[in-house]
Amino acid sequence: MGRVNFDAVQMSSIAFSISGLSKIYAMGESEVVALDHISLVVPQGDYVAIMGPSGSGKSTLLNILGCLDRPTEGEYEINGEEVSHFSDEKLSELRGQAIGFVFQSYNLIPYLNVDENISLPTHYNGKEKSVSSNPAHLATLVGLEERRGHRPQQLSGGQQQRVGIARSLANDPTFILADEPTGNLDTQTTKEILNLLDNLNEEGKTIVLVTHEEEVAKRARRVVRMQDGSVVEDQRVRDPVLVSSANPSNVSDQKNLQNPVHPLQNVWRVLGKGACQSILTHPLRSILTGLGVFIGVVSVLWLLAIGEGIAQEAESEIMQLGANNIIIASKRPSESERSSKGQYFYSYGLTHNDYKKLIQSVPHIQASYLTRELDRRTIFTKDGKKRAELLGCLPNYRNLHNLVVTRGRFLTDEDNRAKAEVCVLANKLSRILFPFGDAIGKTINIGGNLYQVVGEVAPRTNLKDDGDLGFKEMFGDNVYLPIETMWSKIFDYAFRGYDGSPLLSKIILSIDDQEKLLTVSNMIESILDGDHGMEDFKITVPLELMEQAERARLTFISLMGLVAGISLFVGGVGIMNIMLATVTERTREVGIRRALGAKKKDIILQFLVETVTLTGLGGVTGIMAGFLCQPAYTMILGFMEKWTPVIYESLPLSMQNMSPVLVFWSFPVVFVVAVLTGVLFGLYPAKKASEMNPVDALRHVA
């Protein structure tokens, strides 16, 4: 069936007509006849009062005339077009464009002000506001120009009914249905409301009024009395008002009325604003509803930032080791392995002969570095003493770790060949040992021998090696010595290895082809296993560590996705519970909106927008809190270090020394997921609200 021709309805002399209208309700196995073959023709400009005792069928008739209910049989025509078989959507459209409602209990939306309540029907009829439907104009028409910003609870009963009457005029309807409009009012206010209705009728508005009061019915031009679902009397008191086609109350601004409002503009104007007003009406409930989403978003952003910080810290250390390098480090074997070598076996680890053999036997080596490290040795100067780490190395050690010489020079090949008694100090250590001047050219005492300081190197980031993989380097207290000098002149408790050659702490080999790293690493392990006979070394491949770190990061992201899913699911369940309670609480509001022309999809969209607004606000505040991750993390660690040192010390070093790194791609992803969670969990409550019967919803008492 096509769209209702509302322009033709306006031009017709008949506002509406019913013929043989019946309504039968099934009550178990029996039937109740609410309306029994009623026929009625109401011309434009008429003022009809419908009277009758309770149960006579007045309300049922009014519901059918208002397109809130359907007849069991019979015809209902507006301008000669049968409308009783219209779809729910077309009936909603008809209500929004051709019918105005005035309710006994006012039925105003409590969180909307006077202007917003008056203009509510215009939001659903898809038309641009005309002069006659302007809320300011209508508020002035009913004498509420000074109360336009007030909400229903700030108005008297008479003022609320005036708002209801103004609202019924907002869509410039074909006729107005008034259900006991004075039933809750005192005598004086009743007179004022009836005078207002009289004036509207005099201006050409068609009014159908249901009442129990004879005094009210006397105001009408026609009185229809009902009994047991039938019309028992239809008395014409006065003729209808003659409605001219030029009457401004009916045809004014028709051109403007046909200009549609853009859907997105309507969504914001009606639903967005309404959602915010509804949320602000119950601030505590709204905060608690959005809290689950907020916690979910914050937890994901913070955990990702912490995970990224740990990963970057680890990757930074690994990258400093060189992606093409293999690190072989000495380590203390188990006591059982050591005792198997004999009671007096103390030395263990890598030796100089191991280094020579690897250089000769292993292919693809393009550079090699070796060190011997002795920790916590006391260094003496005339100004004091300090414990430091002695690090014997070759000159190329400087290139391995990009050491920057700030004064003097670094070690040379000649120093190594001559076993020269020279050293290079870390800048920090130099400032401690020589606080009153330049260290270059001065001497330090190590184990009774004097070593001349020939250079200083700048501070650099330590390699902490939290996983104890063998690449730890703490650069702040290093004394760099030629490795030959170290072997020959520095006391080393077990300076000779199992093969009689000097011990080494590390051998670092640079391989010319990354694809060969694992193969070369396996070859080295096989050679050393065969020579040592015990596990007194460990091999680390930085490239492999980077791949492991990347896999760990991806695993961490997956776990965070799971955490996000659980958090947002819990938040979504909370939202669904709150929205279901909200739907029940606002059942009458749903009925009001449906009566004023809202379609089912409008109701769904209304509650979805409210849900999305809640989750969106939770997501936005969660994202804002996400930027606080770094200061919050620092503050929490500082608090733990001061007040719970035992717990602080139990944390991995990677967490103690790490700074969170925000993962910015996660911000929009988490926000979208939060909003989609609102849509998903808000869909059922919204659908439930849209399926409510308008008549039952209007009868609901909260």
Taking only the tens place, the pLDDT of each residue in 51-75 is 999 889 998 999 999 999 999 999 9
Q: What is the mean pLDDT of residues 31-57?
A: 93
Residue 608 or 263, more confident: 608
Q: Is the pLDDT score of 264 beyond 90?
A: no
Do 251 and 245 meet the contact criterion of CB atoms below 8 Å apart? yes
Residues with Cβ within 8 Å of residue 72, at least 6 apart in sequence: 22, 23, 24
Percent of the chain at pLDDT > 90 equals 49
Helices and strands, counts by H and E, the chain: 28, 22
What per-residue confidence (pLDDT) applies to 244?
65
Reported as a pLDDT band with limits 50, 70 and 90, residue 469 is very low
Tracing tokens 């490239």 back to the chain, one arrives at 543
Q: What is the mean pLDDT of residues 279-289?
A: 81
Q: What is the mean pLDDT of residues 9-32?
A: 82
Q: Is the pLDDT score of 563 beyond 80?
A: no
pLDDT digits (tens, 9 = 90+) for 369-415: 999 999 889 999 988 899 999 999 999 999 988 899 999 999 999 99
What per-residue confidence (pLDDT) applies to 153?
93
Q: Is the pLDDT score of 260 beyond 50?
A: no
Q: What is the mean pLDDT of residues 210-236?
A: 93
Do 265 and 518 meet the contact criterion of CB atoms below 8 Å apart? no
Q: Is the pLDDT score of 451 beyond 50?
A: yes
Q: Is the pLDDT score of 662 beyond 80?
A: yes
What per-residue confidence (pLDDT) applies to 653?
65
Percent of the chain at pLDDT > 70 equals 87
- Of 200, 171, 181, nearest to 62 by C-alpha is 181
Q: Is the pLDDT score of 256 beyond 50?
A: no
Q: What is the mean pLDDT of residues 665-688?
A: 89
Domains of the chain (ranges plus CATH)? 6-252 (3.40.50.300), 280-313+547-699 (no CATH), 332-535 (no CATH)
What per-residue confidence (pLDDT) applies to 247?
42
Residue 454 or 174, more confident: 454
Q: What is the mean pLDDT of residues 189-218?
A: 92
Phi, psi (degrees; rounded to nearest 5) at 404:
-105, 120
What per-residue confidence (pLDDT) applies to 535?
87
What per-residue confidence (pLDDT) applies to 459?
87
- Of 84, 56, 90, nearest to 69 by C-alpha is 84
Q: Is the pLDDT score of 2 beyond 90?
A: no
Structure token pair of residue 672: 């979208």
Reported as a pLDDT band with limits 50, 70 and 90, residue 12 is very low
What per-residue confidence (pLDDT) applies to 371?
95
Alpha helices in 23-150 (DSSP H): 58-65, 88-98, 114-118, 135-141
What per-residue confidence (pLDDT) applies to 319?
65
Do 692 and 591 meet the contact criterion of CB atoms below 8 Å apart? yes
What per-residue confidence (pLDDT) applies to 489?
93
Helix (H, G, I), strand (E, B) or coil at 207: strand
Strand order in the sheet with 99-102: 99-102, 175-179, 206-210, 47-51, 222-227, 230-236
Residue 270 or 103, more confident: 103
Reported as a pLDDT band with limits 50, 70 and 90, residue 628 is very high
What per-residue confidence (pLDDT) applies to 258?
40
Q: Is the pLDDT score of 666 beyond 90?
A: no
Q: What is the mean pLDDT of residues 331-335?
A: 83
- Of 53, 83, 50, 49, nearest to 68 by C-alpha is 83
- What value does the mean pLDDT of the chain take? 85
Q: Is the pLDDT score of 429 beyond 80?
A: yes
Q: Is the pLDDT score of 99 beyond 50?
A: yes
CA distances from residue 29 to 26, 36, 324 in whole angstroms, order as listed: 7, 19, 88
Residue 273 or 43, more confident: 43
Strand runs labelled E in 193-293:
206-210, 222-227, 230-236
Greatest mean pLDDT among 121-125, 335-339, 499-503 lies in: 499-503
Alpha helices in 134-268 (DSSP H): 135-141, 157-169, 187-202, 214-217, 248-251, 254-257, 263-266
Residue 504 pairs in a beta bridge with 350
What per-residue confidence (pLDDT) applies to 269?
58
Q: Is the pLDDT score of 255 beyond 60?
A: no
Element (H, E) at 424: strand 422-426
Reported as a pLDDT band with limits 50, 70 and 90, residue 230 is very high
Reported as a pLDDT band with limits 50, 70 and 90, residue 79 is confident
Element (H, E) at 350: strand 350-351
Reported as a pLDDT band with limits 50, 70 and 90, residue 689 is very high
Do 104 and 179 meet the contact criterion of CB atoms below 8 Å apart? yes
pTM tops 0.75, yes or no: no
Q: Is the pLDDT score of 357 beyond 70?
A: yes
Q: Is the pLDDT score of 311 beyond 90?
A: no
Q: Is the pLDDT score of 8 beyond 50?
A: no
Residue 122 or 223, more confident: 223
